[in-house]
Amino acid sequence: MGFPGTWMTESESVVYRVVPKCACSTIGQIMFYSDHGEFFDGDIHDSKDRMHKWAQEESQPLIEANVQSHKSYAFTCVRNPYTRVLSSFFDKICGIQRNGKRYRGNLVPQLIQKYGIEVGGPDGKDDFDQIASFRRFLLFVRDTIRWRRPMDPDIHWSAMSGHVSTFIVNGGTYDKIFFTEKFNEGMQDVLDHIETPHAVDLTQIPRFNESEGHGPKRLHPVEDYFDDLSMHLMWEIYKRDFQLFKYDFENPGNKMPLGEVDLAEVHAKLGD
């Protein structure tokens, strides 16, 4: 199985396990900049060289050797499950993607037909009932994760603990797991622990939010999207994420974590 979703700087200064919808574009660009003194021109997910990625075959032996011997500092970043799944809905389901098309081709028409979801018309610009549609999307998410139908779960809404665990199960060890909500603090801690060819000043780094502007703007506070049933579904889908990464399940309106991540607990619970 190896180390899917793992990126490493060319200088091997640091290793990062990507968790989708958790500041991965910004983190990737910071890694790229720390090696080359410039940002990748375009979406960092499209880069094919100057940074090692598990998806690039020639990078795999280098990543594997590094991770299994824990040669470099390794980290990942997580996000509140409530805001993460909402972001997935607005970006991937309601939004038009970089290629000018809907995400995953026929997925959205299928959701409109089977789940009664509205997405704001062909370009996502029309008014629609965001709350009702999001709650129906959440049913679909549960179906993909629980029964793998009408399709396998997508990386953008599958549980963060699943992404984080593959790294551990195959022999990796995290030195740091930080929060998107405390991004500068967490990323600075990573930078303080590594030596990079080019210094990074986080105050000067733009936010590379590649999904921004793809879909309609969220019109309501986070908590308005989650009624009692939605929260029940969230617990069914993301229980481990709430528990391991210390997010507040009881209050969808509180996006901040309730405590620090216990790395020993994460390695113990996700390593089996």
User: Quick one: pLDDT at residue 26?
Assistant: 96
Residue of 12, 10, 24 whose CA lies nearest to 164? 24
pLDDT tens for the 272 residues of the chain, in order = 799 999 999 999 999 999 999 999 999 999 999 999 999 999 999 999 999 999 999 999 999 999 999 999 999 999 999 999 999 999 999 998 888 889 998 899 999 999 999 998 887 788 999 999 999 999 999 999 999 999 899 999 999 999 999 999 999 999 999 999 999 999 999 999 999 999 999 999 998 876 666 778 899 999 999 999 999 999 999 999 999 999 999 999 999 999 999 999 999 999 97
Name residues whose C-beta falls within 8 Å of residue 140's C-beta, 6 or more positions apart in sequence. 111, 114, 115, 117, 150
pLDDT of residue 212: 64
Burial tier of 113 (Cβ tally within 10 Å: 0-12, 13-18, 19+): exposed
Give the global pTM: 0.95
- The predicted pLDDT at position 97 comes to 86
Give pLDDT, residue 211. 65
Residue 116 class from Cβ within 10 Å (0-12 exposed, 13-18 middle, 19+ buried)? exposed
Residue 81's nearest CA partner among 19, 26, 36, 124 is: 19
Looking at residue 213, what is its pLDDT?
65
Q: Is the dihedral of CA 13, 185, 234, 130 positive or negative?
A: negative
pLDDT at 272: 79
Look at residue 206 and give its three-state secondary structure: coil
